[in-house]
Amino acid sequence: MILAEKLERLKALFTEMEQALIAYSGGVDSTLVAKIAYDTLGDRALAVTALSPALLKEELEDAEIQAATIGISHKIVKTHEIENPNYTSNPVNRCYFCKSELHDTLKPLARELGYPYVVDGVNADDLRDYRPGIQAARERGARSPLSEVGVTKAEVRQLSQQLGLPWWDKPAQPCLSSRFPYGEEITVIKLQRVGRAEIYLRKLGLKDLRVRSIGDTARIELPPEQIKDFVLTTDLKLVVSAFQEIGFTYVTLDLEGFRSGKLNQVVGAGLIATTS
């Protein structure tokens, strides 16, 4: 199916829904869903962003700006996954408990406001990765228009660019809890620490990156082709000092380079059992 046909099918899905509440993080996927929903449904579409310690302040600000640019109504609600030990103990299916909290918040809100559907930004490529949060969303009746139509991540960016969204090439920014190895406890302090570290690096002009937090060690991941330039042109002592002020004791650079979902390799290797 060509991209234009997929776009028409997405519009048709929202037309059939008549009203929809979008689980809107401000990432490129959910923003495209919000854009198409608003273009199709107008004020019968609502974008809702969950506010928690796992969302960077800058990401929330971006979400607000993008929603205003699109024109869609935008609501912010608080979620409390940080109070759930099943989440903070960081088992391999941690994302299940995070998304359970999200959709247990959004589903009754949608019902209260008169929206028959809650939709998210899961795309076709997400179904190929280990994403226990998708199961939690499905159990609560959420729909994923992008994956239903077979829209891939690359096509999300193509459609976003075609529709004139200036953030079509925005780097993926999963929640901060994904920066910790499974089994390491997640706390508000740790989330804020890794968030501030990534903000620091972005202010240096870096875009695609992760700061993995392993105990008191920060492990910086950059695209492989950028590692040499980073080492040669960056004041590494200044970076170390900044990270130590943030709260890390040690700062390392991952020589393999950035790869989305890297911590999930232990799942494929069967090194950590799923808990609940």
pLDDT tier, 276 (very low <50, low <70, confident <90, very high otherwise): very low
pLDDT tier, 259 (very low <50, low <70, confident <90, very high otherwise): confident
**270 domain-assigned:** no
Evaluate if residue 174 carries a pLDDT over 90: no
- Mean pLDDT, residues 72-96: 97
Residues 155-164 have pLDDT tens digits of 999 999 999 9
**267 domain-assigned:** no
**225 shares its domain with 116:** no
**153 shares its domain with 46:** yes
**49 domain-assigned:** yes
- Mean pLDDT, residues 166-172: 91
Residues 188-225 have pLDDT tens digits of 999 999 999 999 999 999 989 999 999 999 999 999 99
Evaluate if residue 265 carries a pLDDT over 90: no
- Residue where a domain stops, chosen among 162, 197, 213: 162
Give the pLDDT of residue 272. 46
DSSP string computed for the chain: --HHHHHHHHHHHHHHHSSEEEE--SSHHHHHHHHHHHHHHGGGEEEEEEE-TTS-HHHHHHHHHHHHHHT-EEEEEE--GGG-HHHHT--TTHHHHHHHHHHHHHHHHHHHHT-S-EE----GGGGGS--HHHHHHHHTT-B-HHHHHT--HHHHHHHHHHTT-TTTTPPP---GGGGS-TTSPP-HHHHHHHHHHHHHHHHTT--S-EEEEETTEEEEE--HHHHHHHHHHS-HHHHHHHHHHHT-SEEEE-TT---TTGGGHHHHTT-S----
